[in-house]
Amino acid sequence: MTQSQEAPIRIGHLYGNLLNTYGDNGNLLMLQYLLKKRGLNYQTEVNSLEETLSKDQYDFILFGGGQDFEQSVVAKNLPSKALALKEYIESDGVLLAICGGFQLLGDYYITAAGQKIQGASLLNHYTERQDNHRFIGDITIHNDEFNEDYVGYENHNGMTFIKEPVKSLGKVISGNGNNGQDGTEGARYKNVFCSYFHGPLLVRNPHLADHLIDLVLKRRQEQA
């Protein structure tokens, strides 16, 4: 079969009707554009509060960010999907989490108002808050794995601290990153990529989107 005739790549937009702050849906549009450019078929669906999730349901998952209210709603529903997400992640499923999605994959995050929101504890990180301050502005980081830079825009009150075996997505060249202290930005674990970048991330960094697609295709081949 030619690539265009193969089974479509299944894309799941996790809580996509609730978490799409700062146009994070643009990450999905960029991924779809590059898949089409490669002659690859795809199908996309929103998986939200009413839908179930299984570990083999998708080839790629986007977990975006939202305001604190929407994220608190998602946090209450997330335990129903946590086991499937854990199995998906541990089996090298490709997942991109932005801002709130990044925070919710960790142990917990503290909102700007001081409320503690429990995360899914799927990645080893946690998020504290800043008092009357946000990290806002352009940011550039360097990713050692691919030896390339990523540019974006950050706007977050949270201060995220990652711990082993989680690695950062990149080292901060300019900007604040996860917490403004340790020079890290985002997170990387297996085929999970997390970032505070809005912009959106993949639109401004299509080379990263290409890496995600390569990982999706590699995993599909290994599972065939």
| Six token digits for residue 38 | 């490669």
Helix, strand or coil for residue 224?
A: coil
- The helix (run of H) or strand (run of E) holding residue 75 is helix 68-77
Amino acid, single-letter form, for residue 191: N
Active-site pick, 13, 125, 156, 198? 198
Q: Are 127 and 65 in contact (CB under 8 A)?
A: no
Asked if 54 contacts 20 with a C-beta cutoff of 8 angstroms, the reply is no
What count of other Cβ atoms lies within 10 Å of the Cβ of residue 164?
Answer: 7
Q: Catalytic residue among 13, 99, 194, 211, which? A: 99
198 annotated active-site: yes
Give the Cβ contact number of residue 177 at 10 Å.
Answer: 26
DSSP state string for 103-132: HHHSSEEE-TTS-EEE----SSEEEE--SS
- 142 is a catalytic site residue: no
Three-state SS at 33 = helix
137 HSE (CA, 13 A, CB side) = 11
| Residues involved in catalysis | 99, 198
